Structure 1
Amino acid sequence: MHPSIPLRTLGAVASLCLAFHNDSAIAAGMIPETPVVVVDQQWGEATLNVRNSDDRPALLYSSVENIAEDTERLLVLTPPVARVEPGQSQQVRFILASDKPLTTERLKRVILEGIMPRQDAGGARISLSVRQNIPVILRPANLPIDRAPWKRLTWTAGVNQLQVSNPSPYVVRLAKSVTLLPGGQTLELNRTYILPGETLKLVAASTLGSHVRLFPATTYGFAVDSYDAPLSRR
C-alpha cells in the first residue's frame, strides 16, 4: 500500500478537474457540447455543436491552433464564422486536410470565440469576446481504443531527475504535476499532455522512490482516479 498523497498535492487534483473539463474556464458565451474533439481518420471528419448561452445573438469565430511541438497543417474547420441566435447551437465541422495515413494520434487545439455587439451608455458600439480553447485529437484509422493509455508511460529515475517516455501511439493527457512515492515530492511537467514517441525530463530534489503518482484524463477529457506507475532505475 502506497502512502497517502500529501495535502500540498491536492491542488493537482483540483487543477486537473479544471484543466480537463475543457482546458479553459467556462463562462457565459459560446459553450462546446464536449470538452474534447476526436477526429478519426477512418471517417475523415467530426462535428462539434457550440451553443450560444447568452441572451443575444453573437458571431462564433472558430479556428485551429497548432501546438508548439506539432505545426503540420492537418485540420480545417467550417464554417470559420457563423451567427448564432440566443440559446441556439451551431455545428462546426472538423475535416482532415491530409490523405497521408496517420501512424500515431496527433494533438491540435480549436479556438471558439463569441463576439457580441453591445452598446455602452454613450451610445458607442463595442464588442465583448468570450473564448474557449479545447483540444482536438486526430486518430489513425483502425487504431484500437485504449481507455487507459497513461499505463503505457515508462518512468525512469536518474540523479535528481525523472524521465517519462511515451512509446505508444496515443496522446496521454494528465495533470501538470506528479508525485514521487513514497515521500510525496511534487514534480512539474508544465503541460497537460505527452505526445507519442516523446520523452520529458522532470527535475527532482531526490529520486528516492518506487512509484510515481499521476492524475490522468481520458481521451475525451474526463478526470479519472490517480494512477501509481512503477519507477525504474537507470
Structure 2
Amino acid sequence: MPLARSRLGLLLLGALLTFLLYLLLPAAQRDRRTAGTRWAPNGTAQTGMAAGEPPVFYREVSAGPRPGGAASPGRPDVLFLHGQAFTSKTWEALGTLALLAGEGYRAVAIDLPGYGDSPSAETVATAQGRVAFLDRVLQELGLRRPVLVSPSMSGRFALPFLLARGDWLAGFVPIAPVGTKDYAAEQYRRVQTPTLILYGDRDTRLGAQALQSLRHLPEHRLAVVSGAGHACYLDKPEDFHQALLGFLHQLK
C-alpha cells in the first residue's frame, strides 16, 4: 500500500508539472518574440524598431553557443535582402542561413516592408527613406559593418544605402539588382566597399545591364553562374554558395 501511494503521488506531481509548463511556455515564447530576439534554432522574430515604425520580420539560424548569434571573431555579419517574388524564407529554405551559420557567420534575412510578414511602410517611398530604413535595421539587429546581399528588386534599398553608407558595410553582393541606371559612373567610383557582382549567364537582360553600371565600383570582382537565370541562387545554389563563401572568406 505505501508503494502504491508513492507511485500515485509521483504521477500526480508529474501531471502538475506538465500542466504548469503548458501554461508558462507559450507566454515565454511570446515575450521573446516581441523583444525581437532569436527565440529558437531556425526561428523567426520581429525587430522592435523605433516608436511608431512598423516591425520588420527577420529570420536567423542559430549558430550554436555564441551568444546573440554573434559571428566568429574576424568574420562579418551578413544581411540578406530579397527579390520581388521572394521573402526571407527563400534564404532559409535554400539552406543559405544554415550554411553561413555553420561557417561561423551571423546571417540574417529580413522581409522588406510590404513583403512576407513585414507590413507596408510609407517611409520607404523615397530613396532617403529606404536608407533610413536599413539604418534602423542594422541598429535594431545589432549588425556591425555587415556584408549586404541584394538581389533584384532589393537594389532599390541597397544601392542608395551603398552610395550613402558604403563605409558602414564590410562588403556588398549585388545579384542583378534593379535601379543601377539611376546613378552616375562617378557616384559608383567613390565607393570603396569590396563588392562581388554576381549573376547568372542566362540573365541576359538585367544581369548584363546591372554589370554596365556596377563595373565602375573600384573594389569589385565578378562571378557569373553558368547555366543560371535571373534568380541564379535558386537555379544553381551550390555554385552560388561557393561564390559567396569565397568572397566572404577573403574579406578582412
- The TM-score, its normalising length taken from structure 1, stands at 0.23
- The TM-score, its normalising length taken from structure 2, stands at 0.22
Q: Which has the higher contact order (CA 8 A, sep 6+)?
A: 1
Greater radius of gyration (CA): 2
- Structure with a larger share of its residues in strand: 1
